[in-house]
Structure 1
Amino acid sequence: MAISKKRRRRGCLSFIFIIGFLLGFPFLWDRALDRFYAGRIYEPATLPRAETAIVFGARVYSSGRLSSMLRDRVQRAIDLYHAGQVDRLIVSGGVYDDGTSEPVAMKNYAIAQGVPEVAIVVDEGGLRTYDTCYRANAVYGVTEAVLVTQDFHLPRALFTCGALGINAHGLSADLRTYSERSMQFSESREFAAKLRALYDVVRRQPPSILSS
């Protein structure tokens, strides 16, 4: 009887521990990514030179106008190109149901700012961060790159690209103060996306669009 009670007690404690771990792990993982990759995020003056800058997609309006966050990402990459810190830009994103292409809009903006078209790779298969990183390495042969995106997104992007064979350096594209609503949405979405990133790199499933 005493042994049975001890076993039940141990079983109950084990169950509580497992539940606590499962509930706490997402928060620990979120913190761990932010802290670990803080040292891989640079200012332009200290950024290591790389052949390629990868610019992650974000919202584009039907008119072709870039959202504030996306415009800042592309502008940062343009500045890198003109400063001679990168030789080419991979602009990566998706295509909407109405035909609006994030990468094409990004390319057009960069060309208007003086980046030659031959220095821009348009990747319309970058439906998610994982897809962009996977394709950069598997399709475009990237082994080292500067990742250009906002601060909240950089730890996940650095983790994902690094796990997929890219020596990645982060450059923040926070060139302005974004609306509170926009930041709340982005940061809440990022929390779940970091967990998905871990699942993705463990599973290593090729993206739905793999060819160039």
Structure 2
Amino acid sequence: MAALVGLEGDTTHLEEALTHPSFSNERRDLPDNQRLEFLGDAVLGFCVGELLFKQQPNANEGVLTRMRAQLVSAEALCLWAREHELAKALRLGRGAEAAGLGDATNVLADAVEALVAAVFLERGLDAARALCSRIAEPALRGISPELDPKSELQERLQAQSGVAPSYELVETDGPAHDRSFRVEVRHQGVLLGEGRGKSKRAAERAAAAQALSQLVSPDAPDEEGP
């Protein structure tokens, strides 16, 4: 992991970035990665925003904001974390390890942000910028400036009625390290769709996509009666 992020020989911040709070709770003399996660979140947001600003010269503020949110989401960070087997490098408490939390989405995403902070502190902004670019690359290949389903659904419904849709978590399945969520989306009390995902955000997007597929396009001509 040290070679992957460019921190060979610098172990203090690297070890801290890979230390889950459950491990620190068992070893009171060791700091966990939560402070680094806080800093890394800010550095990652800046670097990814800068990357999009340069790569998407025709995108407006709203589009750039949506794209950045997708690239720094927990799901996107986990693409990179799982590709590089970050879970194997994490230091977890015995209970957390037994529960399989090393592969949990939020645990991996927090560790990625902490690694960004460690690189920023040890190597500076340019090194952190390069790491953030590599982290964002897998997710960047799968997004476009087009609206994501949640944003598109909200814009369409608000344009029609002035009222945004609402999302409700109705079911959670699976062990802590492999959760599955089911979400329903409603508009003015009417059920429009439902979706499942490995995170609530992913389930909400799936529900919005189903709702969009069932909505009649406002531009479609009315059917003529007999």
Shorter-normalised TM range: under 0.3
Name the structure, 1 or 2, with higher relative contact order (CA <8 Å, separation 6+): 1
After TM superposition, the score normalised by the length of structure 1 is 0.22
Q: Greater share of helix residues, 1 or 2?
A: 2
